[in-house]
Chain A
């Protein structure tokens, strides 16, 4: 018997008309915002912190903590911003799209709550340019929220003002990285900034900025409306709540599945209808290109940020790309390495040269009659150097799929390919 989904973030998905704010309100929408506006901003932050909400964009950082830093930094600054990260570029990931297409008011409500929490009066939603449906539905949600008094001046009589605007990306994975996104929001090339300063201190237009992922913000109204205790009944002590996993590849029912954090990988594959046509599981790439390969020995592992990290794997964005016996790990690894080469901005040498070099070496791995083992070792070493010397997290990413593929599939990677 396979497990059931636990839909809290997706409770409205497919059930209400995403274009109708009335539907959303009838389903309990904007109750979280009403409640938040009657609380102290600091108490809102405290509630999110105690609920244990962690960033769903990939890094799993405490959302409450991030909001606290942002609200407390630079008291002289005349303006604070919320930036919603809806760039969703990690291969294999489409959870934010599902939220935006099926329940756009939920994350918009979360955005307003976050803005109240850090006292920001302007928010930008940065959506990737290819997501036309997400853009249109979010635009409609924003317009309706203005008309209903949830946005604009003096929201629900609270004296709080907030404007929200959509900004469009234009096909750059790197712009999903929060500091690079700030550059893009200012109308510039997506050149990474160097941390620190963090966006909390010096974000868009030099002002304190909170950057949160769509799914992260979609959790906020639920936590505020129902309280931390309610939220903590889902998930584990250190990874509370649910996560939307996007399962693709060799399963019978690829798609998005919301489950409590801590569910084993095997259960998720079962939930997605099991292996396609009864094939045998071989590998999964967890978290996309900037993610890690695992083999069948990891099927029993609990999907939480910390457990996977301890086991050398990643939860990341929640992407699970499933491969079956016979599928070439080599090709998918090669694909990831090409991805990084393509998306590298070229600003720093280790990443510009390294991403090109890794693809070349991967080619050699296939053609060489020589010592494949040596080449693979070289590649891992190269990616380690990149991780230590690159300017931004993109150059620190190739090590993830590479080292994990080498760990589980070195035999396959080092034998002759046909």
Chain B
């Protein structure tokens, strides 16, 4: 779907803005909202581009910069910290050869931190795209990352 086609699905009312931004970001292979998309959303809703930009910047789930194909969001909140998520983050950084906040050279992964994902019963936790991964260990990290790499090679 083109940017316009996505935007046209929504009634031109500002209260739809978050939904529009979610849809635009989800549709982009690099998981972000482009300048052009911001402008198109503003045009559709009849608000200024700076309004749309301000909203997109405010919410942490939105990115205005290109990201990897898969977004890894590791929970860094108290329960996960208590159950040693720092080791998990270290394992991810090593496995991906990047630091938190960066994207791998092949464009496959971006590593981000998140606040509590609401999975504390099986902490430590992370999400990759829409999927939840719980009870993480360093060994499991390697397995999961490998499975995404294998998938990409197919």
Query: Which residues of B have CB within 8 Å of A285?
Result: 78
Tell whether, in the assembled complex, residue B79 and residue A92 are in contact, meaning their CB atoms are under 8 Å apart: yes
The B-contacting residues of A in range 121-159, CB under 8 angstroms, are 128-132
Tell whether, in the assembled complex, residue B121 and residue A131 are in contact, meaning their CB atoms are under 8 Å apart: no
The A-contacting residues of B in range 43-86, CB under 8 angstroms, are 45, 54-55, 58-62, 73, 76-79, 81-83
Q: Which of B13, B54, B120, B130 contacts A92 (CB 8 A)?
A: B120
Tell whether, in the assembled complex, residue A336 and residue B120 are in contact, meaning their CB atoms are under 8 Å apart: no
Q: Which residue of the partner chain A has the closest CB to B45?
A: A187
Considering the complex of A and B, which 7 residue pairs feature the smallest CB-CB distances, nearest first? A170-B59, A187-B17, A171-B61, A171-B60, A248-B120, A91-B116, A187-B14
Query: Which residues of A have CB within 8 Å of B77?
Result: 91-92, 289, 335, 339
Could you show 26 A-B contacts with beta carbons less than 8 Å apart?
A: A91-B116, A92-B77, A93-B116, A97-B118, A129-B22, A130-B61, A130-B118, A167-B15, A168-B18, A170-B22, A170-B59, A171-B61, A172-B59, A173-B115, A185-B15, A187-B14, A187-B17, A189-B55, A248-B120, A248-B121, A248-B123, A254-B120, A256-B121, A321-B82, A335-B78, A336-B78
Q: Which residue of the partner chain A has the closest CB to B52?
A: A187
Q: Which residue of the partner chain B has the closest CB to A322?
A: B82
Tell whether, in the assembled complex, residue A172 and residue B58 are in contact, meaning their CB atoms are under 8 Å apart: yes
Measured as residues with beta carbon below 8 angstroms from the partner, the interface class of chain B is: 35 or more
Q: Which of A186, A323, A343 contacts B115 (CB 8 A)?
A: A343
Tell whether, in the assembled complex, residue B58 and residue A289 are in contact, meaning their CB atoms are under 8 Å apart: no
Q: Which residue of the partner chain B has the closest CB to A285?
A: B78
Residue with the greatest number of chain B CB neighbours at <10 A, chosen from A130, A190, A336, A343: A130
| Distance of A170 Cα from B120 Cα, bound (Å) | 20
Query: Which residues of A have CB within 8 Å of B73?
Result: 130
Tell whether, in the assembled complex, residue A94 and residue B119 are in contact, meaning their CB atoms are under 8 Å apart: yes
Tell whether, in the assembled complex, residue B79 and residue A249 are in contact, meaning their CB atoms are under 8 Å apart: yes
| Distance of A335 Cα from B76 Cα, bound (Å) | 8
Tell whether, in the assembled complex, residue B79 and residue A321 are in contact, meaning their CB atoms are under 8 Å apart: yes
Q: Mark B15-55, 1 if CB is under 8 A from A, else 0.
A: 11111011000000000000000000000010000000011
**Nearest CB of B to A88, in Å:** 6
Known contacts A97-B118, A246-B120: does B18 contact A91 (CB below 8 Å)? no
